[in-house]
Amino acid sequence: MRNFIFLLVLAQALPCPAQQRAGVKSEESLFLDLQKTGLGSLTEFEEKKKFLETVKLEKQKIQGKMLDNVYENAFEYYRQGNYEDAKDLATKILAIDPGYQDAQMLLEASNQLRGSLRPNMSEKIMIEDRFKTALSYYNEGRIVEAHKKMDEVVKLSPNNIKAKYWLAKMKDDLKDYYTQKGKDAYKDRDLKEALDNFYNALLIRPKDSPTVEWITRVEDELRQQRANDKLKEALEFYAQGRLKDAYEGLQRALEIQPGDPKAGKLMGEVKLEIENGYLASGKKFYGARRYTDAIGEWDKAKPYTANMSYINKLISRAREQMKSESDEKKRRAAEAERRAKAEEDARLKEEAQRKKDEEEAKRKGTTVEEIKKPAGISEENRLASQQHYLEGLKYFQNSNYEKARDEWTIAKQLDPANADTAAGLKRIEQILSGGQ
C-alpha cells in the first residue's frame, strides 16, 4: 500500500502526456473513486471476499496504468538525454514491480549512456552493439534471446527501420521455433508443455490458423486426458465402495468432458447405488416407526434419483403415518383421561353412598351389610338387560366400540349377574387400549 501511495504521488508530480488525452480519467480520480467504495451492506464472508478480490484487481490495474505513465516520463527523459533522471525513475518502477522488463531495459541503457559502465558511450554505439548482439544470437540459432534483444533495440530506437525489419523476421522464426517445440512436446505426449509452446507461438502471430488448429487439438486431448484421470480415480473409489467420492470424481470428469460415454454410464450406476442405499436405510427406519429419520434418508436420495415421484410418495406416506399415529395417541390419551374421570366419579359416588348407608344403618340400629343386601333382580330388568346386551353386540360387530360399551354398561346396571355383558365390556377395554 505504501508503494501504491508513493506511486500515486510520483505520477501526479510528473508531466504525463497520457493524462492530457481526451476522455482519459486521471489516476488520482481513479484512486479517489476506489477510496469512496466501501463494503456497504455486504455481510456474508464470501461476498466480502469477492469484493476485496475485486478491489485488489482494480488496484493492480490502476498500479499498472500508473507505472506505464511513469515509464513514459522515464523514457522521455531518456530521449532528451537526461539519463540520470531516466535511471532514477526506472529504479523506482522496479522497486514497485521487479518484473517490469521495459524499466529494466531502460535502466541498463541509462547506466551505459551516463558513463557508469563504458566512458564516452553514445546512444548510436549502444544501439549498434545491441543490434549486433541480437544478430549474433540469431546466427547461433538462439532465437528467443535474439528476438528479446532486437525487441529492445526497436523500443529504444523506434525509428530504426533495419531493426524493425529484423524483428519482424525474427518473429516468424520465433513463431516457428515455438511451433516446433510444441510439436516435439506433443510427440513426447507432454501435452501441457506442447500447449504452452503453441500459445507462445499464437502470441507472436495471433491469427495464424495452423497454430489455432494445433491448440484446439491439444486442448481436446488434454481435456480427454484429464477426464480419463478423473474417471480412473472415480473407478478406484467405486471399487473401494466409496460411492460419494466416486460420484464427485465422475462429476469432475463430466465437467471436463461432458459427453464422455464411459463416465456417463458409470455415473448412472453410482447414482443408482447411492439412491438404493438411502432408500433401504429409510425403509428400515420406517419399519421401526422412526418416521423423521426415514424422511431424512429419502430426502438425501433425491439428488441421485431418476424417479422423484416415487421418493415423494414414500415421504408422503411416512408423514401420513406420523399424523395417523399421532392422532391415535391423542385419542387414547383422551380416552384414558375420560376413563380415569369416570372411575374417580364412581369412587366419589361410592364413597358418598357408603357414608349414606352408614348413617342409615346407625339410624335404624342395624349394619351396612343388612341394608345393602341385594333384592332379587326382577324379570323385567333381566329382560331389559338382555335387550341392551343384544343391541351392544350389533354395535360391536360393526366395530362401533363406544356405542357397544354404552349399551353393555346399561345392561350390566340392569342385571349385574349378566356374565355376557361383563365379558363384552372387558373385551372392549382390551381393544381400545391397544391389546388383542
**Tens of each residue's pLDDT in the chain, 436 residues:** 445 445 544 555 455 444 433 333 444 443 444 444 444 444 566 666 666 777 777 777 887 888 888 888 888 888 888 888 888 888 988 888 888 888 888 888 888 887 544 555 588 888 888 889 988 888 888 888 888 888 888 888 888 899 889 988 888 888 888 899 999 998 998 988 998 998 988 888 888 899 999 999 988 888 888 888 888 888 898 889 899 999 998 888 888 888 888 888 989 999 999 999 999 999 999 999 999 999 999 999 999 998 999 999 999 999 999 999 899 888 888 888 887 887 788 788 878 877 887 787 777 777 656 555 555 677 888 888 888 889 988 888 888 888 888 888 998 888 888 888 888 888 888 888 776 5
Q: Where is the domain boundary, 129, 159, 186?
A: 186
Predicted confidence at residue 38, as pLDDT, reads 42
Instruction: Verify that 423 and 342 share a domain, yes or no.
Output: no
Find all residues with CB under 8 Å of 152, minimum gap 6, and list them: 105, 130
Predicted confidence at residue 279, as pLDDT, reads 94
279 part of a folded domain: no
Cell of residue 375, nine digits: 333384592
Instruction: Verify that 403 and 330 share a domain, yes or no.
Output: no
Instruction: Verify that 357 and 422 share a domain, yes or no.
Output: no
Q: Where is the domain boundary, 186, 212, 228?
A: 186
Q: Which residue pairs from 175-184 have beta carbons closer than 8 angstroms and sit at least 24 positions apart in sequence?
A: 175/201, 175/204, 175/205, 175/208, 175/211, 176/201, 177/143, 177/144, 178/204, 179/210, 179/211, 179/214, 182/214, 182/218, 183/214
120 part of a folded domain: yes
Query: What is the C-alpha to C-alpha distance for residues 93 and 98, in angstroms, rounded to an integer?
Result: 8
141 part of a folded domain: yes
Amino acid at 132: K
Domain residues for 362?
324-371
Instruction: Verify that 13 and 53 share a domain, yes or no.
Output: yes
Instruction: Verify that 167 and 19 share a domain, yes or no.
Output: yes
End-to-end CA distance of the chain: 83
Instruction: Verify that 90 and 130 share a domain, yes or no.
Output: yes
Domains in the chain: how many in total? 3
Instruction: Verify that 83 and 52 share a domain, yes or no.
Output: yes
296 part of a folded domain: no
Instruction: Verify that 341 and 399 share a domain, yes or no.
Output: no
Predicted confidence at residue 72, as pLDDT, reads 87
Instruction: Verify that 136 and 161 share a domain, yes or no.
Output: yes
8 part of a folded domain: yes
Let me know: does 98 contact 67? Beta carbons within 8 Å. Answer: no
Q: Where is the domain boundary, 186, 216, 234?
A: 186
Predicted confidence at residue 3, as pLDDT, reads 53
297 part of a folded domain: no
Amino acid at 386: Q
Instruction: Verify that 345 and 408 share a domain, yes or no.
Output: no
Query: What is the C-alpha to C-alpha distance for residues 86 and 74, in angstroms, rounded to an integer?
Result: 5
295 part of a folded domain: no
52 part of a folded domain: yes
Let me know: does 292 contact 265? Beta carbons within 8 Å. Answer: no
